[in-house]
Structure formats: C-alpha cells, structure tokens
C-alpha cells in the first residue's frame, strides 16, 4: 500500500511512471546545464572552464529556436483576429466557431484533467514576496554586470542612447536651476522626457555622483522599479501574489532589461514602469470609483506623457478602449465622464506644453519620425519583422521562448475577465498600427507590450500540476527562469565583452 501511494504521488494521471521519471530526469539534466551556464557568465572571465562549454550550449539552444520568432510574433499579434471573427453572428462566424470548437475538443481530450487550483500547488511560488526580493536583487546585479572592472576597466557607459542623457544633463548643469528645468521641458530631446532628466539632474547637482555614473546607474534603478510595478499590477488584476511574484522575475530578464540596457531606452523603460502603475490605478478605480484614485490616475497619465510620449499615447489608447468596453457592460455613466476628463486634462497639458515651450519642433520631429510609415509598409511586412527581430538590438527580440509562452497566454485570455481583457486589448491595439510602421517604430511597439505578464501566464498554464505530481512543475518553472537569466546575462556581458 505504501509503495502504491508513493507511486501515485510521483505519477500524474495519464502518464506512466517510467515516462514521468524520464521527463523529470530530462528537466534536471537541462537545469544543471543552464545553472552551470549562469555560473560561467557570473564568473567570466575567471571561470575554470575557459571554453565556456555550458554557456555556448545555452546560446546554441537560443540560436536554434530564434528562427521561429517571426512566425511566433505574427501569431501573437494577430490571434485576436480569428477570435473576433468567431464572435460575430453570421453564417461564416458560426462555421468558423464550429471548427474551432472541434479542434479544442480534440486537443482537450489529449490533455489530462487539471484541478482549477493546480497553479497554487507549485511550491516555488509559495513565497511570492521572496520572489519579488530575488527579482529586485537580480535586477541590480544584472545592471552592474557591464560595469564590472574586469569586464569594463574604463567604465565606459553602455547603451546606444546613453551618451544623449549624459549630454543633456551636462547641458542642464551649465544653466541656473530655472534654465535647467526649462531646457529639460523644451530643448532636450524636443522636451519629450523631462521626468527622467530632471531627477538625474537633481541627483548630480548634489555633487555625490558624476553625470556619467548617474546614467550608468539608471538600469540598477529602473530594473527593480519595473519588477515592483509589474508585481503590483498583476496582484491588483489577478488578485494573486503568486502569479505576481513570477511576473516580477520575468520582468527582470525580459525585453525591458535586455533591450533597455542595450539601446539605452531609459525614458521608455521608466514609462513602462509608470504604465503598470497607471493601469493598476485604473483597475482599482473601476472597482471603487474613488476620487483620490482618479486624481492619482490623472497624474500618472501626465507622468507617462512627460517621460516618453510614445508609450503614453499607446497606453492611453489601450486604457480608453478598455474603459469603453467596461462601460458597455455596466452602462455606468461615471466611467465615460472619468475617461473624458482624464483624456482632456492629459491632452490639454501636453499640447499646451508642446505649443508654448517647444514650439513647432515637436511636430516637425514627429513628422520626420513617422514619415517612412504608411500603407506602403504593408508590402514590406515580413522583411520589416525580420529586420526588427534579428537586426535591431543585436537580435534580442528574437526570443522564441518568451514569444511562444506569450502566445499560449493570448490564446487563453478570456474577455469576461477584466484583467485578461485589458491584456488582450493591449496586444490587439498594439498590433493594429504594427504593419504600417517601419522597423524602428515596430520595435517600440514590441517594447511596450506586457510580455513578462503574458509569458508568466502561459508558462504557469503549461507546467500546471497534474494529479498529485508537482515535481515537474517546479522543475519546469526553474528551467525557464534559468533560460531567461542566461539570456539576460549573455546580453549584459556582450555589451562590453564578446567571449564567443
């Protein structure tokens, strides 16, 4: 009897014991390889094995999967199209719906039945706040990798756009305080990012740190902030700290950090943090209709527009459609009034700043930026995607694991759930202008999408415990986190050194 019970614990329904042992053994083997790879990157160039065998093995896995990224990205962006087509009440939609239902039934028959609370039994998520602490510490350590003296003895700033921030802040330091603030609001980068330049200026003005060091430390500040903001966003939306803890870890090793550090997208990175806080407040306001929450919501809207207007406009568009969809269900007129006031205040403040502080410079800059976009880009849709994924930022967007996990989540998003509806609209609205944009703007759309949230949801669905077996779930979660950590460490190291 005791042996039978032990076997039933190890063996989920639908899996033979020997097959389960093989699965667990393979997971352990790959985890060992990925863990040793992390150690090699962390100890480079002092690791005893100078050939970096395990790091090369991990990089080979990434390179083998990367060619699938373009197809995965298209599926991710446009899965909503057939789902929308099915929702219409016509003969074609009904026929399409029948086909999808038959496919779903065929697939579900192959998958063992899973209890609804199965994700809560993954023991690695039992202490979500500890996961958040690990995420914050990991973000700081990752940001310091390119400034390790043995890798970057000259302490040269990394990030394509980093030198602009140094130049803008140095220019501010040569002016009196009023002139410095005016320069940040009007002249620096066409006045598009004062809410990141002014804090850097204030810190440097204390004399405790130089401009270069302040800019170098930005990723060590932004990484923890995005982990914290993603945590509160998911906790508010999903009412689950366990899910939030996993998301915080994924945010540290996602495009926010890798592309953000490589490209020096510091303003965009901060705007993503503000976007998560803004949407957290929005979800809270929809539940409480609190006046104080609405004031904070409006202030965060302005913060996004004064940090990175592109991100601010995208997130406000998502929020607007989301609120309208909620109003359609509830018919609460207060939601429409709040939306009108929010958009009016945000637009009036930003347009007034643009006209009276920046003049026509912003309009000219915006016109030049989008001049290459339009219907003509439809004919270059596939080449643009290839260029966006494999050429921009050294191919960091060609992360097939992150894209694939996100697709799983997008397919399963339910419009009835407000949080999942928000995520679905975020992807759908981002996908609409995507084919009309040239590659440089396409990557901005991708950077602003909630990949850490989607990837975490997709992963936790795929690895959910079956029956009493939870070992494979914990191992699979650990494996994907190690793969993500290796991806981020490889990027951070390659910013200043190229081991292979």
Tokens of 377: 């880009």
Query: In this predicted structure, what is the pLDDT of residue 5?
Result: 43
Range among 101-110, 278-287, 468-477 with highest mean pLDDT value: 278-287
Tokens of 406: 């996100």
Burial (CB count within 10 angstroms: exposed 0-12, middle 13-18, buried 19+), residue 130 = exposed
268 and 260 in contact (C-beta within 8 Å)? Answer: yes
CA distances from residue 205 to 174, 197, 208 in whole angstroms, order as listed: 11, 12, 8
Q: Express each pLDDT in 358-404 by its tens digit.
A: 555 555 555 556 666 778 888 899 999 999 999 999 999 999 999 99
What gap in Å lies between CA 269 and CA 79, rounded to an integer? 27
Q: What is the largest CA-CA distance in the chain?
A: 82
492 and 394 in contact (C-beta within 8 Å)? Answer: no
- The packing angle between helices 218-238 and 266-288, to 10°, is 20
- The domain in which residue 447 lies consists of 23-78+112-156+217-494
173 and 211 in contact (C-beta within 8 Å)? Answer: yes
pLDDT at 212 over 50: yes
227 and 252 in contact (C-beta within 8 Å)? Answer: yes
What gap in Å lies between CA 29 and CA 35, rounded to an integer? 10
Query: In this predicted structure, what is the pLDDT of residue 478?
Result: 95
210 belongs to a structural domain: no
Q: Express each pLDDT in 233-276 by its tens digit.
A: 999 999 989 999 999 999 999 999 999 999 999 999 999 999 99
Torsion sign across C-alpha atoms 61, 62, 66, 71: positive
Query: In this predicted structure, what is the pLDDT of residue 116?
Result: 44
Query: In this predicted structure, what is the pLDDT of residue 469?
Result: 67
pLDDT at 101 over 90: no
Tokens of 163: 């030198």
Query: In this predicted structure, what is the pLDDT of residue 363?
Result: 54
Share of the chain above pLDDT 70, in %: 85
Among the residue ranges 21-25, 121-125, 353-357, 462-466, the one predicted with the least confidence is 353-357
pLDDT at 110 over 90: no
119 belongs to a structural domain: yes
Name the residue with tokens 């409006």: 298
Query: In this predicted structure, what is the pLDDT of residue 7?
Result: 43
How many helices (H) and strands (E) the chain has is answered by: 25, 0
164 and 189 in contact (C-beta within 8 Å)? Answer: yes
471 belongs to a structural domain: yes
CA distances from residue 80 to 85, 409, 430 in whole angstroms, order as listed: 9, 12, 12
**Which residues on neighbouring strands pair with residue 276, listed in sequence order?**
none
5 belongs to a structural domain: no
457 confidence band (pLDDT: 50, 70, 90): very high
CA distances from residue 314 to 130, 195, 243, 304, 405 in whole angstroms, order as listed: 32, 18, 25, 10, 23
Query: In this predicted structure, what is the pLDDT of residue 453?
Result: 97
**Which residues on neighbouring strands pair with residue 469, listed in sequence order?**
466
Q: Express each pLDDT in 78-99 by its tens digit.
A: 998 887 776 665 666 666 566 6
Query: In this predicted structure, what is the pLDDT of residue 91?
Result: 67
- What are the helix (H) ranges across 378-467? 381-390, 400-412, 418-431, 439-448, 451-462
Q: Express each pLDDT in 136-190 by its tens digit.
A: 999 999 999 999 998 999 888 999 999 999 999 999 999 999 999 999 988 888 8
348 belongs to a structural domain: yes
Q: Express each pLDDT in 119-132 by its tens digit.
A: 567 888 889 999 99
Structure pTM? 0.90
193 belongs to a structural domain: no
pLDDT at 48 over 80: no
For the chain, the domain total comes to: 1
């Amino acid at each position: 009897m005791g042996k039978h019970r032990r076997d039933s614990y190890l063996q989920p329904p639908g899996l033979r014991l020997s097959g389960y042992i093989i699965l667990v053994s393979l997971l352990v083997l790959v985890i060992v390889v990925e863990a040793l790879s992390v150690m090699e990157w962390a100890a480079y160039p002092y690791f005893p094995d100078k050939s970096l065998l395990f790091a090369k093995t991990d990089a080979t896995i990434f390179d083998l999967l990367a060619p699938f990224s373009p197809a995965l990205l298209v599926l991710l962006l446009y899965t909503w199209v057939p789902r929308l087509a099915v929702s219409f009440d016509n003969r074609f939609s009904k026929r399409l719906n029948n086909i999808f239902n038959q496919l779903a039934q065929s697939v579900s028959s192959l998958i063992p039945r899973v209890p609804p609370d199965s994700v809560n039994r993954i023991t690695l998520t039992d202490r979500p706040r500890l996961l958040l602490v690990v995420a914050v510490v990991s973000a700081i350590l990752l940001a310091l990798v390119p400034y390790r003296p043995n890798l970057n003895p000259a302490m040269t700033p990394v990030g394509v756009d980093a030198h602009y921030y140094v130049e803008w802040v140095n220019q501010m330091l040569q002016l009196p305080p009023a002139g410095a603030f005016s320069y940040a609001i009007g002249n620096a980068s066409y006045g598009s990012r004062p809410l990141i330049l002014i804090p850097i200026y204030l810190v440097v003005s204390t004399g405790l740190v130089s401009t270069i060091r302040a800019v170098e430390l930005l990723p060590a500040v932004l990484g923890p902030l995005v982990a914290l903001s993603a945590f509160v966003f998911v906790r508010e939306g999903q009412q689950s700290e366990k899910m939030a803890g996993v998301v915080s870890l994924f945010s540290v090793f996602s495009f926010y950090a890798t592309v953000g550090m490589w490209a020096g997208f510091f303003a965009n990175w901060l705007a993503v943090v503000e976007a998560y806080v803004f949407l957290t407040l929005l979800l809270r306001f929809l539940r409480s209709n609190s006046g104080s929450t609405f004031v904070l919501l409006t202030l965060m809207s302005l913060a996004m527009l004064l940090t990175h207007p592109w991100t601010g406009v995208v997130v406000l568009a998502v929020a607007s459609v989301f609120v309208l969809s909620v109003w359609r269900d509830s018919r609460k007129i207060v939601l429409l009034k709040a939306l009108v006031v929010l958009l009016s205040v945000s637009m009036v403040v930003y347009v007034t700043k643009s006209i009276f502080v920046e003049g026509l410079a912003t309009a000219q800059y915006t016109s030049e930026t989008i001049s290459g976009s339009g219907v003509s880009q439809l004919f270059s849709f596939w080449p643009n995607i290839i260029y966006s994924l494999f050429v921009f930022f050294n191919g960091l967007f060609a992360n097939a694991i992150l894209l694939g996990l996100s697709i799983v989540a997008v397919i399963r998003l339910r419009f009835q759930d407000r949080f999942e509806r928000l995520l679905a609209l975020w992807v759908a609205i981002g996908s609409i202008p995507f084919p009309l944009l040239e590659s440089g703007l396409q990557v901005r759309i991708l950077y602003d999408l909630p990949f850490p949230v989607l990837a975490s949801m997709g992963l936790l669905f795929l690895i959910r415990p079956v029956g009493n077996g939870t070992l494979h779930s914990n191992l699979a979660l650990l494996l994907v986190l190690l793969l993500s950590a290796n991806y981020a460490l490889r990027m951070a190291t390659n910013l200043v050194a190229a081991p292979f």
